[in-house]
Amino acid sequence: GEGRIPHWVAYELTAAEVQGAVGRSDDFRVDQRVQNSAPSKWPGSGFDRGHMKPAADSKGSAEEMRSSFLMTNMAPQSPALNRGEWKGVEELVRAWSAEHERVYVVMGPSRASRGTIAGGVRVPTHFWKAILRYGADTSAVAFWFPNADDVPGAVSDYRVTVDSLEAWVEMDLFAPLPDAVESRVESEWGQWDLSRKAPRQKASSSAEPGSSVQ
């Protein structure tokens, strides 16, 4: 993607995959398939290597786990976001996958930047995520998070409609839906249980600069 980070990442997450047995690899590495993959380490940057598709959503196979640590799946996130509300929404997505059998997830960085690190790796001002469940109660929910040094409150404080998100990112996220369904689910909140909150974690000053917890 532009600025050596992905434009967006999308995947289907099933309840079975959430229960996968493959352990986390922590094998951050350059993606040799692309010319402008980000370097595998960002020492001294102050930013985490933030997963777009989480490692914990990649437990279905060893290859899937390894792929989740390719740098084409990473973007610079503040420790406050990556270890706080971003982690919190990742946990919600896994809970929703278990509850609804499968969900469809798409996420990425804002178009706006707050600078660059590590040889031109772009640091977005925000990150976003949208989740769709499809079936008898088709519904969507979206989030827009600041990539800031402090991200207070709860995940629910950053919930937005998919329509709003699409205007900001200039993308049509769920185009395959029938038009009437798409119009409905993208303009309303929908019924999603946001009660699972991840505990706030303070970024440790002893952590390796540029390291990532999730």
DSSP 61-125: -HHHHHHHTBGGGEEEE-HHIIIIIHHHHHHHHHHHHHHHSEEEEEEEE-SSEEEEETTTEEEES
The per-residue pLDDT string of the chain (214 residues; one tens digit each, 9 = 90 and over) reads 679 999 999 999 999 998 899 999 999 999 999 998 999 999 999 999 999 999 999 999 999 999 999 999 999 999 999 999 999 999 999 999 999 999 999 999 999 999 999 889 999 999 999 999 998 899 999 999 999 999 999 999 999 999 999 999 999 999 999 999 999 999 998 889 998 643 343 443 334 334 433 3
Q: Single out the residue of 32, 42, 111, 112 nearest to residue 74, CA to CA.
A: 42
| Residue 131 · residue 105 · CB < 8 Å | yes
Measured distance CA(5)–CA(7) in Å, rounded: 7
32: CB partners within 8 A, 6+ apart: none
Q: Which residues sit opposite 50 in a β-bridge?
A: 75
Phi-psi region of 61 (alpha: psi -120 to 50; beta: other; left: phi over 0): beta
Q: What is the pTM of this model?
A: 0.89
| Residue 68 · residue 53 · CB < 8 Å | yes
Q: Single out the residue of 107, 110, 151 nearest to residue 3, CA to CA.
A: 110
| Residue 138 · residue 182 · CB < 8 Å | no
* pLDDT given for residue 196 in this prediction: 61
Coil, strand or helix at 12: strand
Q: Give Cα separations from 30 to 5, 36, 104, 136, 206 (angstroms).
A: 12, 9, 26, 41, 25
| Residue 121 · residue 40 · CB < 8 Å | no
81: CB partners within 8 A, 6+ apart: 50, 127, 145, 146, 147, 148, 151
